[in-house]
Amino acid sequence: MLELSDPVPGLGPEVRPEALDEAAVARLAQGQPDLLHACLLLWHDRLEAAHAIVQRQEGDRMADTLHAIMHRREPDEGNSCYWWARVGAHPLAAELGAEARRLGLAGLCGADEAIEAKAMTRACCRGSLSAEALRALQACEIRLLASRLVAS
């Protein structure tokens, strides 16, 4: 598994000083599926490059999930929610629900205790909950997506 190390990405579009540039991410992703490359680009704050990849695979559930996350980070709440509507339930809803409850973000979960992706998007875009907890939840989300993409 490719390691996605700390510090974790922010909730917005800012590029962290420790984030890799696009060329370094491309080297890291060499030989990996395009969607894993997009996931790594999101981790390293390269939103436009990630967007270009996920747009080419529109209609694929994982591509649309990454598309929703990318727009959440812009932050473009409406566009992110549009993509979540296309995805349906988050593919990692149960795992993220458990992590949200652990982080004190149980309000982002539905009655089934699974994460509600649109609720997470609203919280991230509006800054209505702890940014630190939301960043940790987002980091868990991206790491789990990367693990799924490596396994597929």
How many other CB atoms sit within 10 Å of the CB of residue 130? 14
Please indicate, yes or no, if residue 16 is contained in any of the structural domains. Answer: no
Q: Chain centroid to CA 114: how far? A: 16
Amino acid 5: pLDDT: 87
Using an 8 Å Cβ cutoff, are 51 and 84 in contact?
A: no
Over its length of 152 residues, how does the chain's per-residue pLDDT go in tens digits?
A: 467 988 999 999 999 999 999 999 999 999 999 999 999 999 999 999 999 999 999 999 999 999 999 999 999 999 999 999 999 999 999 999 999 999 999 999 999 999 999 999 999 999 999 999 999 999 999 999 999 999 88
Contact 94, 114 (CB under 8 A): yes
Half-sphere exposure for 123 (CA within 13 Å, toward CB): 21
Instruction: Answer yes or no: is 105 within a domain.
Output: yes
CB-CB contact of 58 with 64 (8 Å): yes
Q: Is the peptide bond before 75 cis (omega within 30 degrees of 0)?
A: yes
Whole-prediction pTM value? Answer: 0.96
| Owning domain of residue 80 | 22-151
Structure tokens, 91: 């593919």
- pLDDT number for residue 3: 72
Number of domains in the chain: 1
The pLDDT value given to residue 93: 97
